[in-house]
Amino acid sequence: MHASTTDLLNEIEQFSFHQSSDLDAFKNLFLGKKGKIAVLFEKLKDLPVEERKAFGAEVNRLKDVAQQKWTVFQQQTELLLDQDDQQKDFDFTLPDVPGRSGSRHPISLVKTEIVQVFERLGFNLALGPEIEDDWHNFTALNFPADHPAREMQDTFFISRSPDIALRTHTSSVQIRTMERLKPPIRSIAPGRVFRNEAISARAHCLFHQVEGFYIDRGVSFKDLKDTLYHFCKELFFKEIEIRFRPSFFPFTEPSAEMDITCLLCKGKGCNVCKQSGWVEIGGAGMIHPEVMRNCGIDPDEFTGFAFGMGIERITMLKYQIKDLRLFTENDVRFLNQFQAVT
């Protein structure tokens, strides 16, 4: 490198900026029409032809270094000036503007409340994947190979695979927990589930369930009923009426569906309860012995109960909502009615 360009490079790198006026000083000293870099360009015509190319490249490099250094400091100076202007324009004597808290989704509110009720009863929180295999979603739960739930009209299969699908219920979490833990087991599993259903005021293809189950020696159907009675009284109010109706599920025996008084019409009959005065909120029963065996638990030694409830249905009753589609439309006017985040 030529001695003159080396000296000038050192001078550029050692130049320090302390105030905005240094911008003009730097530009005039190095980048101006009469600056030191311009003087070096003038020397090109006096050099031998064979030296001009190398010397010109060195001078251009100096110019680039100087220009970059000047640009960086200019940007820093402008940022500081903008901040000063903002502070000068702001009136610190103005009163504070109160912040507006956001709202929690009603499904989240009710899901949290449901979990808290069961946690006070000794249930632990359990979670599982939303994309499930056939074993955890169907086979281990004692679904026959020809069960209608396996067909495409009920289940969203992944890439046309008959073995991988979006889970149709949170009962798959029950299977995974039973495979992983030994009795006694007492767990609650809330989560999203998916079914290939038409969307209406009463149904949706995406909704939320909460699965609960308890396995130990001597667990009875009375324990199941007492647990669900306590849950309903805690979540709604003490005077609510509850009834159990015989039903059938592949994974429980005996099985029952649980109804509560329709809180929209107070039991008088409406379109939500189909004029019956009752609304089903979930199914329950004693865990089928075959399900226990599938998970490596001896049904001769242990018994257990399981239940599943729709969180949307409970939320509709709790907040007097008549159209299930409101939960997924994200209408701010609807969402702002619920409890703010604290």
- Among 89, 122, 143, identify where a domain stops: 89
Q: Are 114 and 44 found together in one domain?
A: no
Assigned domain for 99 exists: no
Assigned domain for 96 exists: no
Structure confidence by residue, pLDDT tens digits, 276-295: 888 888 999 999 999 999 99
Assigned domain for 54 exists: yes
| pLDDT > 70: percent of the chain | 90
Q: What pLDDT is recorded for position 340?
A: 59
Domain residues for the domain of 65 are 3-89
Q: Are 36 and 126 found together in one domain?
A: no
pLDDT at residue 302 greater than cutoff 80 = yes
Assigned domain for 75 exists: yes
pLDDT at residue 217 greater than cutoff 90 = yes
Q: Using DSSP bridges, classify how beta strands 242-249 and 252-261 pair: parallel, antiparallel or unpaired.
A: antiparallel
Q: Are 85 and 147 found together in one domain?
A: no
Q: Are 73 and 112 found together in one domain?
A: no
* More confidently predicted of 164 and 263: 164
Helix and strand numbers, DSSP H then E, in the chain: 11, 9
Say which amino acid occupies 41. F
What span, in angstroms and rounded, lies between the C-alpha atoms of 177 and 188?
10
Q: Where on the phi/psi map is residue 309: left (φ > 0), alpha (ψ -120 to 50), or beta?
A: beta
Assigned domain for 66 exists: yes
- Mean pLDDT over residues 30-49, rounded? 78
Assigned domain for 280 exists: yes
Q: Are 233 and 137 found together in one domain?
A: yes
Q: Are 292 and 215 found together in one domain?
A: yes
- Mean pLDDT over residues 58-75, rounded? 80
The count of residues in the chain is: 342
Structure confidence by residue, pLDDT tens digits, 83-136: 655 555 666 677 776 766 777 889 999 999 999 999 999 999 999 999 999 899
Q: Are 132 and 234 found together in one domain?
A: yes
Q: Which range is most confident: 4-8, 52-56, 212-216, 314-318? A: 212-216
pLDDT at residue 29 greater than cutoff 60 = yes
pLDDT at residue 208 greater than cutoff 90 = yes
What span, in angstroms and rounded, lies between the C-alpha atoms of 273 and 89?
61
Q: Tell me the pTM.
A: 0.66
Q: Are 34 and 117 found together in one domain?
A: no
Assigned domain for 65 exists: yes
DSSP letter for 215, please: E
Q: What is the DSSP string of 107-157?
A: HHHHHHHHHHHHHHTTPEE----SEEEHHHHTGGGT--TT-GGGSTTT--B
| pLDDT > 90: percent of the chain | 37
* More confidently predicted of 216 and 104: 216
Q: What is the mean pLDDT of the chain?
A: 84
Q: State the greatest distance between any 2 C-alpha atoms of the chain, in Å, as a whole number.
A: 107
Q: Using DSSP bridges, classify how beta strands 185-194 and 242-249 pair: parallel, antiparallel or unpaired.
A: unpaired
pLDDT at residue 1 greater than cutoff 70 = no
- Mean pLDDT over residues 322-328, rounded? 86
What span, in angstroms and rounded, lies between the C-alpha atoms of 278 and 313?
12
Q: What pLDDT is recorded for position 342?
A: 47
- Among 57, 89, 121, identify where a domain stops: 89
Domain count of the chain?
A: 2
Say which amino acid occupies 48. P
Q: Looking at residue 235, which CATH number applies to its domain?
A: 3.30.930.10
- Among 35, 62, 89, identify where a domain stops: 89
- Mean pLDDT over residues 31-50, rounded? 78
* More confidently predicted of 42 and 342: 42
Half-sphere exposure of 48 (CA within 13 A, CB side): 2
Structure confidence by residue, pLDDT tens digits, 143-174: 888 777 666 557 888 876 678 889 989 999 99
Contact call for residues 287 and 305 (beta carbons, < 8 A) = yes
What span, in angstroms and rounded, lies between the C-alpha atoms of 269 and 281?
16
Q: Where on the phi/psi map is residue 67: left (φ > 0), alpha (ψ -120 to 50), or beta?
A: alpha
Contact call for residues 339 and 258 (beta carbons, < 8 A) = no
pLDDT at residue 264 greater than cutoff 80 = no
